[in-house]
Amino acid sequence: MAVSALQPADTWPTRSVRMLVGSAPGGGTDIMARIVADALGPVLKQAVVVENRPGASNTIAASTTAKASDGVTMVMGVVTAHAIAPHLLDLPYDSNADLIPVAYVGAVPNVLVVSNTLPVQSVADLVALAQTSRPTLNYASSGTGSTQQIAAEMFKDAAGIELTHVPYRGSSAAQIDLMSGQVQLSFDTLPSVLAQIQANKMRALAVTTATRNAQLPNVPTMAEAGYAQVNINAWYGLYMPASTPSAVVDKVHAAVNHILAQPSTQTRLLAIGAVIQPMSQTEFAQFHDAEFQRYGDIIAKNNIRIQ
């Protein structure tokens, strides 16, 4: 282990901190990471530099973090990498053993959005159209194993309809084709599509959380639309290598919870539709384990495979 990883927690960090992100710039994970990094740097008294390492369902960034020995690398973890991908990919690391859940940040809903070219105004309209469309409607995702795909597959199962999956390398590329009508719908994360919804470049039909979101108060939940089974969100939290000293883990955990309590951070997170829910380290670890099991069951039930 590098000497820097062994320094006392009271002097850590003595150099800039890397916060890896498993998606391209502009996606929900990237937006969340940059908000946290901006606030975390002054607390740690070192710059927190966001590095994008997109690909493989967010697991390239997670893998790099798991193998890091510099003592200053963390990853903005997302449900895709830590609870979904391990059931779909042959990973070069153990998601449950090689990374430590350090600090839970919050969650955002997925939003069922459709192209403005599609003649539907509600989930019921969409289901009716999907039942008669030949060829089937296409749904976009940021990649196989993403929350977008999982939500869409849950929706297909609940509504008894057929949809064709079109995976992209990130939300930005998917949104371009959605707005042009080349694909018809998506269950993207709220931070990724909020600006486009507000600009009327795509239409929001429902959010996938149990309650409506403050940023889209007039958009119903999937439960209100009759599909309570489609209950999913994109949650985020910081993970560090399992080799990280416990005192450093404690310091980062305390620093993150400190910034989450700051009005300036809360304002930025709430503006992208995030639900902030601080957890203890033990609670976050238990949450991680429960989500890992839940998504394993969902993937098995819907026979989701890498395409």
Q: What pLDDT digit, counting tens, does each position of 48-88 carry?
A: 999 999 988 889 999 999 999 999 999 999 999 999 999 99
pLDDT of residue 2: 40
Q: How confident is the model at residue 172 (pLDDT cuts 50, 70, 90)?
A: confident
- Return the half-sphere exposure (C-beta side, CA atoms, 13 A cut-off) of residue 36: 32
Q: Mapping DSSP to helix (H, G, I), strand (E, B) and coil, where does residue 27 land?
A: coil
From 180, 164, 165, select the one nearest 117 (Cα to Cα).
Answer: 180
Phi, psi (degrees; rounded to nearest 5) at 224: -65, -30
CB atoms within 10 A of CB 297: 10
What kind of fold does domain 110-225 have according to CATH? D-Maltodextrin-Binding Protein; domain 2 (3.40.190)
Give the H or E element holding residue 100. Answer: strand 99-114
- Tell me where in the chain the CATH 3.40.190.10 domain(s) lie: 110-225
- Tell me where in the chain the CATH 3.40.190.150 domain(s) lie: 15-108+233-302
Q: Which two tokens stand for residue 272?
A: 């992208």
Q: What average pLDDT does range 122-138 have in this prediction?
A: 96
Whole-model pTM: value is 0.88
Terminal C-alpha separation, the chain: 38
pLDDT of residue 145: 84
- Give the whole-angstrom CA distance, residue 166 versus residue 143: 8
CATH class of the domain whose range is 15-108+233-302: alpha beta
Contacts of 69 (CB under 8 A, 6+ apart): 1, 2, 5, 241, 243
